[in-house]
Amino acid sequence: MRKLIICTMLAAGLAGGALRADTLQLEGSTTVGPIADAFAEYFKSIYPDLQITVKKTGSGDGAAALVDARCDIANMSRFMKEKEFKDAVAKNIFPVAHVVAMDGVCVIVHPSNPVKALTTAQVRDIYMGKIKNWKELGGPDMPIVPISRDTSSGTYETFHELVMAKQEMAANIEYVNANPQAHARVKGTPGAIGYVGLGFVDTSVKALEMDKVKPSRKTIATGTYPVSRPLYMFTAGYPKLGSMTHRFVTFHYTEKGQELIEAKGFVPLTNY
């Protein structure tokens, strides 16, 4: 008898859950991934029945998944390519871009280093192994120790695209697997140069001016800093107002959303 009761309760619970459960599938960029993860975690805490999965497979996969209707939101660190857009329209899907945050990568050096500003081309030459000593850039006679993030990180992707212009880095580049580690290595190595998200710049390292623009929330949010780019979430058409997808892609307007974006080292889209 008791078993029967438990069974019916379970069945009822399952059925009820299935009826109420909302699902949200996100797929795409590893750069936007952390923002989506943070949003998803917060959404799960306010909507306990909501099933959110965030897959980090790359922007291209995100676009493909949206076209195939395998996901509700495609996270992308670049705009859709012409071909992806055409494929989508051919399937009667009209992609809408929601810019959720700005991503800026700051080039940092040891605070004792007198070099204050570099151009994008100079940084590229350093990472390509063409410039090997700080004295070539007006600094002391000290070999440059270039430090990069691991090639699977989103920060690397941004740097690789906007600074390196997709050129190969030299073989002597050191790799670290997290922003705090990159920060620690630059902080402890007088000849080092590295790059981190804006959220990781503090007084123990020096962020360089790039092409004469100092990295700050304002220059990144307005896009004047050369190593900044918008981060997108794409939906198939503008989502139905009030739907979970709609709430998700507009969450970055809220104070909590902006807080989460900043906590992940990105720049929210406000102008204050």
Partner 1 sequence: MDKGNSTLTLKRTAGTFRPLALTPSEDLKGYILAHLGRAVLFLIACTSVIAIFLIFLFVIRESVGFLQTESLWGYLSKTGWYPQAEPAKFGSVAIIAGSLYVTAASLAFAVPIGILAAAFLSDIVSFRIRAVVKPVIELLAAIPSVAYGFFAVLILAPFLQKKFGFPTGTNALNASIILAVMALPTIISVAEDSISALGRELREASYSLGATRMETMFKVVIPAAHSGIIAAVVLGMMRAIGETMVVWMASGNAAQIPHPWWDISQSVRTMTATIAGEMGETPKDTSHYYALFMMGVLLLVLTFSLNIVSEYFLSRAKKATGRA
Using rule CB under 8 A, residue 3 touches partner 1: no
Q: Rule CB under 8 A: say whether 150 interacts with partner 1.
A: yes
Q: Angle formed by the axes of helices 82-90 and 59-67, to 10°?
A: 20
Q: Which of 95, 104, 191, 230 binds partner 1 (CB under 8 A)?
A: 191
Question: At its nearest, how many Å lie between partner 1 and the CB of residue 69?
Answer: 20
33: Cα within 13 Å, side-chain hemisphere: 19
Q: Does 173 bind partner 1 (CB under 8 A)?
A: yes
Among 24, 25, 26, 30, binds partner 1 (CB under 8 A): 30
Residue 23: is it exposed, middle or buried by C-beta count within 10 angstroms (0-12/13-18/19+)? exposed
Q: Which stretch binds partner 1 (CB under 8 A): 138-146, 198-206, 243-251, 254-262?
A: 138-146
SS3 (DSSP) at 216: coil
56 contributes a contact to partner 1 by CB under 8 A = yes
**33-46 vs 255-263: helix crossing angle, rounded to 10:** 140
Q: How many other CB atoms are found less than 10 A from the CB of residue 113? A: 22
- Window of 112-120, 160-168, 198-206, 222-230 that interacts with partner 1 by CB under 8 A: 160-168
- Helix (H) / strand (E) containing 267: none
| Residues near partner 1, by CB under 8 A | 30, 56-58, 61, 142-143, 145, 150-153, 156-157, 160, 166, 168-169, 171-177, 181, 184-185, 188-192
